[in-house]
Structure 1
Amino acid sequence: MNRNYMTLDRTERLAAVLDLLAESGQIEVDDIIRSLGVSAATARRDLDTLAAQQLLTRTRGGAIGQSVAYDLPLRYKREQNAPQKLLIARAASALVARGAVVGLCGGTTSTAIAGVLGARADIMEASPHATLTVVTNALNIAAQLAMRPQIKTVVTGGVVHSRSYELVGPYSDAVLQQVRMDIAFIGVNGIDPQVGPTVNDEREAAVNSLMAARASRAMIVADSSKIGRIAFAGLGELHRFDGLITDDGITPKQQAAFADQGLEVIVAS
C-alpha cells in the first residue's frame, strides 16, 4: 500500500489492516508498519481494536485470521472485491424482468444488486404503477431504494443486526410468510459444494433461508473468494437453491463440483 497513515482516518486504517491480513491469513506488526507507515504503538493498538471486535486473533507480535469466515462490519466490507460484485450485480439484474417481485437479503453483493436495479432505464421510466417490487430485510438497501418512487420497497420487521444492517428474528419471519417473490438473491459468507451456503449468524441464516423458500427462484450471489469457505450457520442443502452467480475467479474444478450437486453456475463477466 505504501500510503502514509496521516492520509487515512482510523476506519480506513483498520480496513487496510484487515486487507493485509486477508492476503496471507496472518500479519506481523512490522508488516503494518512497513505497509501503512504507522508507528509500532499504532499498529499494536489497531490489532487490539480488531481483536476486541473478534475480527482477528492476536498473536505475539501480530495476528492471524479466524479459522472460519467471519463477519466484517459492512463499512469494512464495502470495497472488498468491488469490481467482481458489480459484475455479479449486473448478471443478477439480467435475470429480473420489469414488474417482478425481487427478494434481497443484506450484504454488500445484494447492495450492489439494488444499485444496478435502481439504475435500470426500464425500471426508472415514469409509470403510474410500480415497475419493480423489492422485498428486503436490509435497512441500508431499503434506504437506498426509498428515493426511487418507481420501486415499491417492502421491508420486513425484526431486530437490527448492527454489523450487517439486516433485520432478523420472528418479526421478519411473519412478513416473509405472507409474501411470494419471483426471484430472491441470497448473499452468503461461504459456499461449499458439500456443505452448501453458510453465513456467520444463525439469525441471518434463518431469514435468508425463508426468503429463498418464498421465492420461485432462489439464486446465491457470492464472489469467488467465498467459494470453499465455511461459515457458522447453514442455509440448507444446495438442492434448495436454483443457482449460483459468481465471478470468473471460480475454477473449472469448483464449477464441476457444483454441477455434480445439480446447481447452475452463472459466471459474471
Structure 2
Amino acid sequence: MSDRKRDERIAIMLALLSQRGELQVRFLPKGLGVSGATVRRDLAVMEETGLIRRSYGKVVATRRGAELPVSLRHSQNTEAKRRIGALVSSLIPSRPLVVAMSGGSTVGFVAKSLASRPDLTVVTNGLDTAASLMVRQVVKVVVTGGTARSLSNDLVGKEAEKALRSYRFDYAVVGADGISPEAGFTCHSKRGAEINRVMLEQADHKVIVADSSKLGRMRQAKIADIGSVHTLVTDSHASAAMVAALRKVGVATTTVVIPASGSERGRAR
C-alpha cells in the first residue's frame, strides 16, 4: 500500500476518534477494507507520531482536535484543495508581483498552481510550499529563516518574522485551521499564527484559503480579525449561513464547486 493510502486511512481513523472518543481495533479491518496486518502497521505509525494511545484492543486519541502532521492533511479534502488552489492562482494578476505564502496543505495546492509563473517572487516560511513552487524552476522563491516546526514543515520565530517585515507584498496567501465571524481566523500554533499575521499585515491584498471543514471552528491561536482580510476562498460544502455571515462583515467569500464526478470541471460562485 502507498503512503497516500495509509495517510487516507489514518485520517479516517482520526475523524472517527474525534466523533466517538475511542475505536475497537477488531472492527477496523472490515471498516477500512484492509487486512488486520495493515491496520496494525497504521496504528503503529499513529502511536509513534503521538496521535493515539492503544490499550486492551482499543485506541483513543491522545489530544482531540490537535494539529495533524502536514503529511496527513495533504490527504484530506484533496479535490477541494486542488480547486481552491487553481482559483486562487487565477486571482493573482499576470504581472511582476511579490507574494507571501504560508505553509499548509491548502496553500500547497496554490503553490502548485503558481509554479509556472515566471513573473512572481514568492516569499514563504513553508518548506513544502517552497518545494512545490520550485518544481518548474521559474518562480523566484525566497525562504525565510527561522525554527522548523516538524508538524507543519514550516519556519517560525523572530528570524522568520524579521525576514517577512523586510518586504511589502502585493498579495499574501495564508491558510487557517478555524474560521468564524466571532473568533476570526485562527490556527493551532501560536508561533504559526504570528508568522501568518505578519504576512497579512505586510500585504496589500490579503487572501485566506481553507476548505469548508475549517468554517465554524475556532482554534487556540488568532491570526487576524474577520474583517481585516479581503478574500476567503473555500469550497461549496461550506455552510450557506456561514458564508453569508462572512460576506456580511465584508469578507469577499468565494466557493469553488466540488462536482459529484471528479471528471467535471470546477466553477466558482
- TM-score category (smaller protein): 0.7 to 0.9
Corresponding position of 2:109: 112
Corresponding position of 1:78: 74
Q: 1:237 to 1:46 in 2, by over 3 A?
A: same
Corresponding position of 2:182: 194
Q: 1:18 to 1:143 in 2, by over 3 A?
A: closer
C-alpha distance in structure 2 between counterparts of 1:267 and 1:37, whole Å: 35
Corresponding position of 2:98: 101
8 Å Cα contact 1:73-1:164 kept in structure 2: yes
1:150 counterpart = 2:138 = yes
Paired residues, number? 252
SS of the equivalent of 1:235 reads strand
8 Å Cα contact 1:173-1:207 kept in structure 2: yes
| Structure-to-structure mapping, 1:224-243, within 5 angstroms | 224-243=212-231
Q: 1:262 aligns with which of 238, 242, 250?
A: 250
Corresponding position of 1:249: 237
Letter matched to residue 158 of structure 1: G
More displaced stretch, 141-150 vs 238-247 = 141-150
Q: 1:55 aligns with which of 31, 44, 51?
A: 51
SS of the equivalent of 2:246 reads helix
8 Å Cα contact 1:181-1:214 kept in structure 2: yes
Which stretches of structure 1, 4 residues or longer, exceed 6 Å deviation after superposition? none
C-alpha distance in structure 2 between counterparts of 1:31 and 1:105, whole Å: 39
Q: 1:16 aligns with which of 9, 19, 24?
A: 9
C-alpha distance in structure 2 between counterparts of 1:109 and 1:266, whole Å: 15
C-alpha distance in structure 2 between counterparts of 1:21 and 1:29, whole Å: 13
C-alpha distance in structure 2 between counterparts of 1:144 and 1:203, whole Å: 23
Residue 71 (structure 1) shift: 1.9
8 Å Cα contact 2:185-2:224 kept in structure 1: yes
SS of the equivalent of 1:197 reads strand
TM-score (norm 2): 0.83
C-alpha distance in structure 2 between counterparts of 1:73 and 1:150, whole Å: 29
1:35-93: CA deviations, max 9, x gaps? 24333x87467446525534346676534557764222222221211110111111111
More displaced stretch, 188-197 vs 67-76 = 67-76
Corresponding position of 2:150: 162
Name structure 1 gaps, 5 residues minimum.
Answer: 1-7, 125-130
8 Å Cα contact 1:25-1:65 kept in structure 2: no
